[in-house]
Structure formats: C-alpha cells, structure tokens
Chain A
Amino acid sequence: MALSRTDAVEASLRRQRAELDARLAQAVTFGADPAVLRYGLGDVMVVAERAGGIGDELDAVVAALVGQVCALGGCGVSVSSAERIAVRELVGHLGPWLRAEPTGCLAQVCHAARVLGHRPGALDAWVRRLGAAAAHTDDAAELRALGVVAAWRSGLVRLREAALLAARGLPTTPLAAALELSGDVEAVLRTNAADPWAWPEYGPRPGELRVVARTGGFTGFGGPWPVPPVVVGGDGVRWRVRAGTVERLLLWDVHGDAVLPMAAAELAATSDPAAVLGPPGRLRLAGLSAFAPWQDEVTGAVVVGRTAVLSRAGSHHLDLLRAGGAP
C-alpha cells in the first residue's frame, strides 16, 4: 500500500527527529515562544504535504521548514505574522521552487512577505495571485518571477519596472493568473508600460472624465503628509510633491503608490492648475469636462497625457484625474 502524503511527512519527521528536536530545543533556549513553535510545526505538516517530494528531497524540505519555524520563533514572530501567512498559505503551492532550494525559497518568500506586509491588503492579494499562478507552472525560476509580477499587481509599485521586465519571459497562462487578467495579456502590459494608468475595466469610460484614485493623508492619521501637499511635477509614474519645506517623490500607478523620502529635483516643475480648471466648479482634461467632486482651491496640477495629478488647499490627499479614451 502506497504511503499517503501525511504518512510520508510523518516518516520524514521521525527520520530526522534527533536533529529537529535539538533545533527546537535551542530555539526555546534563545527565547522562542513554545506556542509559536507548536503552531509552526503544524504548518510544517500542511506545507510539506502540499509541496510534494519524496526521500531525501522531502527530508530537505521538512528540515528547512522546521529551521524556518525555529528562526521565526526565535525572532519573536507571532502566529499572525506576514511570514507565517506566507509559509502556511503559499509555500506549499510553490513545490517546484521549494524542492529545488528549500532554504532559499523559504527565506525569499518570508522576506517578500515582510515587504508586502507593510501595505494593507497586499500580502493576502499576493498570496492569492501567486498561488493561482503556481498551479500553471512547475519551473522554480518561473515561480520566482511570477512572485515579482504578482507583487506589483498587488500594490508594490516600486517593483513596476522589475515586474514588467520579468513578465516578458513568462508563459501566458501563469502570467494571466498572477495578474488576474483574461484576454491578451501581452497587449495589456504593453499598453500599461506606456500609460501607467491603463488597465482593463479600470478608469473612466471612453469620453468620460473623473477622479479615479486618491492617495495620501494626514500624518496624524497614518498618512505621509504633515501639511496639505502640493504636486510640483511628474512623468506619469513619478510625481514630485512638496509638503511645506520638504519635497518627496510619489510613485503612483494603477496598482499602487509609495511615497519615498527623497527629492525628485530632476522632475521639472510643470504644475499648472489652470490646465485642469474649467468654468467654476468644473474640471477639464484632454478635451473632456466634468464637475469637480469637491469645492476647493486647486494648488497644483501636473498633466501627463490623459492623466493629471491634482493637489488641493484643503486636503492632505492627491487626486488622480483621468480622461477616458475617445468614444
């Protein structure tokens, strides 16, 4: 009778019991919470069962997982941490990558999870998308690249360039799953590379003008701006923003945003509120006009193609005004 996956994993644990027990004991010695370790060991069973592999390959996976649990426990990681979510929910689906380099895969996925964990909702979205994409490939390098693409799609705008580059070498089916797209994925990415706000079923209809996105917020409520920001310049993805006496770089595309603590002096000061203001109470862009969704003084406006970023005197947010294509 063939061993079930559960039996195989249990057998692997028994084979390596002495060494794994020693690691766990040492982790406790160095301050790991035994409760966290217990939860982690439960994860080891689940993940190892999903990841596949037999014999020495399985042993390496199990040992790496236990090692990762010890390391995370020793670092004071909690049961609800980004790393645990990634290990429990995702790593099991990355079988080819995990079997190829158990320790490296775990380290990289945990690091990526920590990066994504800082952005609300990004980690869950990444786990979902990469998990879906992983079902369509059995190549470790492709899984790694899909992780980058899925992370950008899930809001990590700083990965935009790396993701667009990585996407070029990926097969269509897993790529579409990572991006949650249907249809001509290559065409969508080509368009987005030229127009960072172009994405299927996103934005205004042809002939329509409206504010499609808002970013920012007051620092007192967790946002990046201590005073109402003023947009100074931009190139479509990078926006130069001034708040009081400091300047910051805002990266913003259809999938996410990030405010970076650096000036962007190379972006020319091209702000011109008059370019987007129509008759009182109305906005205009690319030949289209619409009612302004607020009553406020526009302090800055930078137009790039069919996109404009606006700042207002009474708001700690920046608005993205988008004109739909020709009807």
Chain B
Amino acid sequence: MTTPSDPMGHVSAAPTLPGAGAHRDEVALSVAEFYGGQAPTASPVAPALDEKLRQAYFWVANHAIISPHYDIEFDDPDAGASATYRLGDSRAEVHLPSGQSYSSYVLLPLLTFAVRGRCLLVGGPGRGKTASALLMGVLAGYPVRDVRRAMQHGHPQLTVADLFGTPLPRDLVSAERLSDVDVAWRSWLGMRVKIVDEYNRIPTRTQAALLTLLADGYVEVFDQVYETGDSAWYLTANDDAGGGTYQVVEALKDRIDVVVQALSFNNRFLGQLVARAEQRVRPEESVPAGVVFSEAEHASLHEQVRAVALPPPVRRRLEFFASQFELAERAGVQFEYRTKDTARLAGADPHLLLAADTGRDHHSDVGSQTLAGLSVRALQSLVAYAKALAYFRGRGAVGLDDLRAVLPFVLHDKLPQDPDAPALAGKDGDALRTDRISWLRGMFDATSQQYDALGLDTDDVVGELLAQFELGLDGVTAEQVRSRLAQVERVLAGWQDQRKLHGHLYDDTLVLKYLHQRYTNFLAWLRWR
C-alpha cells in the first residue's frame, strides 16, 4: 500500500478481500501481511495481480467514480443472509448484502480489462461513460493525454481512413501495385485499450470496417494488413437500443461481450462533485502508480484469468440454462430444425410458433420468453467473464454465484426477449420487460431450481454416456460398441411418449444421436478392419 499524501492517491490496503485466494488457506500471518505488504527498505513487495485488480477496483469505486451503487450482491455464508427491506407501494426490495458486493459500473469495465473483452457502456448523457473508459486506458499505463487523443469519437462523417489511417500521398502517386502503397496507420490501433465513443453514430460502412478490427484483431487498407493483437475495448452509446444516428449492425452488436448501464448519479454526493470542480481535481490525472498495470502484467493477468477452472457442476448448470432457449418444437419437421433459428431464417415469427405450442407451461418454461437461442460466442463470453469475476474474488475456480453475477450483463443484448411472452404479461411482467438484468437473473434462478428438482447432479445418464465416449475408442471391441448403441437406444425409447420435449431434453437427444452416429461409424470401421 502506498502511503498517500493526498486522498486521491490512497490505494486500499491488502488484503482487499480478507480470506480470498491463498489467504484463506494460510493460518499464520506473515510479516508482510502484518505490515500491510511492505517489505524491508530494499523494495516493496508487489501484490499478486488479483489483489492489484481489487485495489484498482476500490480506487476507482472509492475515489475516481462517485458510484455508491452495489448492484452485484454477494452474501458471506459465515455472516448469514442479506437483510431485505420493502419500500413504497410497489414494495420495492432493497437488499443489504452480508458479503463484499460491487458496482457493476466499475467492476465490469475492470473485468473487461482483465479478459481483454469488449464492453459497451450505455446510459444517458453525462453519466460518466467516457470517463470510465478513460480510466481503463490510464490503468493500462498510458498517459492521460495519449488516451484522450486515441479515443475515437463516432460521428456521421467518420470514414475508414479517419479510423485506421491513410496511405502516404507520395505512394499513391508512384505505386505500381497496391502492395507498394504504405499506409500511415493511426497510433490508437496498437494500444491495449481501445475506446470508441458514441459508436452508434458511426456510419454503417465504417461500422463494417470496425467490425473486422473488433472481431478479428486486424485491419486491412490498400492490401496492407495491421495486426492489432488482443486489446480491451470500451464502446459507449447513449441508447443501447441502437438509436442515435445509425442503426448498429447486428454483427457488431454481437461482438460486444458485456453491456453495462451507467446508473444515475446519487445527488447526495453532489458535495464531492463540487469539491472536485473547485479544486480542479481530475481522477484520471491522479491514478496511483500502484494500480497501473504494465504490459507484462496485463498479459499475465489475462493468462491467470484463463487458468481459472470451470468445475463440471457449474458448467452443467450453465449447459442446462443455455439449452432452454433454442427449441421451437413447431418450427420444423426434422428434429434438428425444430429451432427458433429455423423460424427466423424463414422469416417466421418465433413468438407465434411458440404460442402455438399448447400444452407447454409458458410460465415455467423460460425458453418461451425469448425469440432466439444463445450463440457460441455468447457462451464463450459468459465463461470468460465468470472466470474473470472468480479471479477477481480470489478464487481458483468459478462458483455458481460468479456465473449468476455476470450472466445478466453478458447476455443483456444476446438473448432477445419476447415482450409478448405469457410469462411477461401482467403488472409483474412490465418491470421485467424493461429491467433486463433482473429478467435474465430470474431466468437463471428458475433454471437452477429446475436443475435441482430434476436431480441432474447425480442423475445424468447422457452425461455418463458422454463421459464414457470421451475416454476414447482405443481398445473398444465391437461387442462393447453394440452394447453402447443399445444403451443409447434404450434411453431414447424410455423418453418416447413419456416426457415433454423441453430445451435440455432436445439437446440431450441430439447428443444421443451424435453418440449413436459415432459408435455406428466406429462399428462399421471395426467390421471393415
């Protein structure tokens, strides 16, 4: 911890999360811990990167951005459940969590920094979206001036050349081939933190060029290619519904990993704003050195996050949740095509197809609340951010609470809601139609309960068959293969006419077909051999 000579320079003392990570397993107190992480005169002990990330969070939350919101709530099992109070005619619940909780507006940009993801900051004007992105650039070690100059501002006249660079005029005149043209690339392309302000004001043609950079990490102009590498992206928009000057192309929206809403300013903190204005204090100019990440630390941070484990029980619940959304039983004839995607590609309204599926409980079936399923990209983002949150909280493996916490922000724009779904009708549904975070979180909780009710942690025959297959086919005899084929067929026969076709069952059925096909091919090969 650096001893501040001014409060803005104050960095929270380690450990910022008592009991996190290795600390939980250590009974004895070390000298460094007793003295707050300070080593003898030689040189200070650098905190572990997860501790540094937490220190960065607390510095931003306590000193830089005035954000008293703690909307990502955790309970401490040792301290008990949170206290809940109900206010007003609508009995609005306010929770006082018993564990360390966080502000999404500060945490998610920081996790984006850790995983080098793509974060969209949305909210009304003047809510600090750009300021938040600016801070992330400074945390990456860039001078404030450089970050400000490198920020790309969306406007209707923005061209590809404005964004990426222009060819040198002399080359344009003298070149005989495209490859002879040198391009003066914009310096922001090489930065580890890239900021695009008001991305929904970029013209569509330029958005397409930005998409290549965002998605694939390279840009091409006049046959010249610039590889930009991994970086953390921060895009801002005043209206997350794609309003503004131009509609945001779906492919670009789909590349966004997480959407964070800039919550409203709490007017009880006006005094702090006034004090800053009077003292000309700018947080981005006062970032303590102790929370700035070097390039090597940033890379190491990313590696460490990727190494966080995703335990099978947590993964299974995510699989169960994700499998709820694609099935549209009446969208096709062939089993594989009974999906919402089939309906959308054919121009049909998935809502009508789902509504026609009578006999299904549309209130408990979360799949009937969406117009599409989850993409692979969305699942990858979800896993990455869950790992990042677990890492941030000092854990070596993702917990269910980590997954639950990041899920609404990652899937905010990726799981399109069916506003006409029966489950969203009525007064209770009004709030869920507008509060996507609560809607998504509620669906995850509902599927978790269904998962528990089905006992899938212990009763998962498809999981067992899949695990058996994944051991490999080396040494498996024809007789064993026939036995496995018979087992697959028995399971399907047992489901026939017995069970409603829900989303998870749809996925399991396709898995069984996959296993059957793999075994069939292997058996044919054994016979041939």
Measured CB to CB, the closest approach of chain B to A61, in angstroms, equals: 13
* A63 nearest CB neighbor, chain B only: B5
Selecting from A160-168, A173-181, A277-285, the interface stretch reads A160-168
Instruction: Convert B17-58 into 0s and 1s, putting 1 for each residue whose CB lies closer than 8 angstroms to a CB of A.
Output: 001000011011111001110101100100000000000000
Measured CB to CB, the closest approach of chain B to A224, in angstroms, equals: 11
One of A26, A67, A238 near B27 (C-beta < 8 A)? A238
| A31 neighbours in B (Cβ, 8 Å) | 7
Q: If the complex has contacts A111-B35, A144-B35, are A104 and B41 also in contact, measured as CB distance less than 8 A?
A: yes
One of B10, B13, B19, B44 near A74 (C-beta < 8 A)? B10
| A238 neighbours in B (Cβ, 8 Å) | 27
* B38 nearest CB neighbor, chain A only: A108
Q: How far is the CA of A72 from the CA of B319 in the complex (A)?
A: 49
* A140 nearest CB neighbor, chain B only: B41
| Interface members, chain B 63-82 (any A CB < 8 Å) | 78
Contact in complex: B5, A23 (CB < 8 Å) = yes
| A115 neighbours in B (Cβ, 8 Å) | 29, 34
Q: If the complex has contacts A64-B3, A70-B5, A71-B5, are A107 and B30 also in contact, measured as CB distance less than 8 A?
A: no
Contact in complex: B4, A67 (CB < 8 Å) = yes
* A260 nearest CB neighbor, chain B only: B27
Contact in complex: B279, A29 (CB < 8 Å) = yes
Contact in complex: A101, B5 (CB < 8 Å) = no
Contact in complex: B41, A71 (CB < 8 Å) = no
Q: Is A172 an interface residue (CB 8 A)?
A: no
Q: Is B1 an interface residue (CB 8 A)?
A: yes
Q: Is B333 an interface residue (CB 8 A)?
A: no
* A106 nearest CB neighbor, chain B only: B3
| A32 neighbours in B (Cβ, 8 Å) | 7
Bin chain A's interface residue count.
35 or more
Q: Is B250 an interface residue (CB 8 A)?
A: no
Contact in complex: A104, B3 (CB < 8 Å) = yes
Q: How far is the CA of A324 from the CA of B34 in the complex (A)?
A: 34
Measured CB to CB, the closest approach of chain A to B252, in angstroms, equals: 41
Q: How far is the CA of A101 from the CA of B7 in the complex (A)?
A: 20
| A29 neighbours in B (Cβ, 8 Å) | 275, 278-279
Contact in complex: A71, B3 (CB < 8 Å) = yes
Selecting from A6-14, A130-138, A151-159, the interface stretch reads A151-159
Q: How far is the CA of A110 from the CA of B2 in the complex (A)?
A: 12
* B4 nearest CB neighbor, chain A only: A71
Measured CB to CB, the closest approach of chain B to A161, in angstroms, equals: 5
| A39 neighbours in B (Cβ, 8 Å) | none
Q: How far is the CA of A162 from the CA of B26 in the complex (A)?
A: 13
| B6 neighbours in A (Cβ, 8 Å) | 23, 26-27, 30, 70, 74
Contact in complex: A107, B275 (CB < 8 Å) = no
Measured CB to CB, the closest approach of chain B to A159, in angstroms, equals: 5
Would you call the interface of chain B mostly helix, strand, loop, or mixed?
loop
Q: If the complex has contacts A115-B34, A140-B41, A261-B78, are A162 and B3 also in contact, measured as CB distance less than 8 A?
A: no
Q: Is A127 an interface residue (CB 8 A)?
A: no
| A107 neighbours in B (Cβ, 8 Å) | 1-3, 36, 38
Contact in complex: A158, B28 (CB < 8 Å) = yes
One of B34, B38, B78 near A151 (C-beta < 8 A)? B34
Q: If the complex has contacts A68-B3, A71-B3, A162-B31, are A144 and B278 also in contact, measured as CB distance less than 8 A?
A: no
Measured CB to CB, the closest approach of chain A to B38, in angstroms, equals: 5
Contact in complex: B35, A108 (CB < 8 Å) = yes
Measured CB to CB, the closest approach of chain B to A78, in angstroms, equals: 16
Q: How far is the CA of A101 from the CA of B38 in the complex (A)?
A: 11
One of B7, B24, B41 near A27 (C-beta < 8 A)? B7
Q: Considering only CB atoms and an 8 Å cut-off, how many residues of chain B contact the other chain?
A: 29
| A35 neighbours in B (Cβ, 8 Å) | none
Instruction: Convert A109-122 into 0s and 1s, putting 1 for each residue whose CB lies closer than 8 angstroms to a CB of B.
Output: 01110010000000
Q: How far is the CA of A103 from the CA of B2 in the complex (A)?
A: 8
Instruction: Convert A46-70 into 0s and 1s, putting 1 for each residue whose CB lies closer than 8 angstroms to a CB of B.
Output: 0000000000000000011001101
Q: If the complex has contacts A27-B7, A251-B27, are A108 and B36 also in contact, measured as CB distance less than 8 A?
A: yes
Q: How far is the CA of A161 from the CA of B30 in the complex (A)?
A: 8
Contact in complex: B41, A148 (CB < 8 Å) = no
| B30 neighbours in A (Cβ, 8 Å) | 162
Measured CB to CB, the closest approach of chain B to A168, in angstroms, equals: 14
| B25 neighbours in A (Cβ, 8 Å) | 262
Q: If the complex has contacts A29-B278, A29-B279, are A166 and B31 also in contact, measured as CB distance less than 8 A?
A: yes
Q: How far is the CA of A64 from the CA of B3 in the complex (A)?
A: 9
* B271 nearest CB neighbor, chain A only: A31
Measured CB to CB, the closest approach of chain B to A155, in angstroms, equals: 12
One of A104, A160, A166, A261 near B28 (C-beta < 8 A)? A160
Contact in complex: A262, B24 (CB < 8 Å) = yes
Q: How far is the CA of A151 from the CA of B31 in the complex (A)?
A: 11
* B28 nearest CB neighbor, chain A only: A161
* A163 nearest CB neighbor, chain B only: B31
Contact in complex: B34, A162 (CB < 8 Å) = yes
Measured CB to CB, the closest approach of chain B to A151, in angstroms, equals: 7
| B29 neighbours in A (Cβ, 8 Å) | 115, 156, 158-159, 162
Q: Is A193 an interface residue (CB 8 A)?
A: no
Q: Is A100 an interface residue (CB 8 A)?
A: yes
Contact in complex: B1, A144 (CB < 8 Å) = no
Measured CB to CB, the closest approach of chain A to B434, in angstroms, equals: 36
Measured CB to CB, the closest approach of chain B to A110, in angstroms, equals: 8
| A111 neighbours in B (Cβ, 8 Å) | 1, 13, 34-36, 38
| Interface members, chain A 150-209 (any B CB < 8 Å) | 151, 156, 158-162, 166
| A159 neighbours in B (Cβ, 8 Å) | 28-29, 31, 34
Best-buried of B1, B7, B41, B279 by chain A (most CB within 10 Å): B7
Q: Is A75 an interface residue (CB 8 A)?
A: yes
- A sample of 19 cross-chain residue pairs with beta-carbon separation below 8 angstroms, ordered by A number, consists of A26-B6, A27-B6, A30-B8, A63-B5, A67-B3, A71-B3, A74-B6, A101-B41, A108-B38, A111-B13, A140-B40, A145-B31, A147-B34, A147-B35, A158-B27, A158-B28, A158-B29, A162-B29, A260-B27
* Beyond known contacts A67-B4, A104-B3, A112-B35: 12 more, CB 8 A cutoff: A30-B6, A67-B5, A107-B2, A107-B38, A111-B1, A111-B36, A112-B36, A140-B41, A144-B35, A147-B35, A158-B28, A159-B34
Q: Which 4 A-B pairs have the closest CB atoms?
A: A111-B36, A74-B7, A67-B5, A158-B29
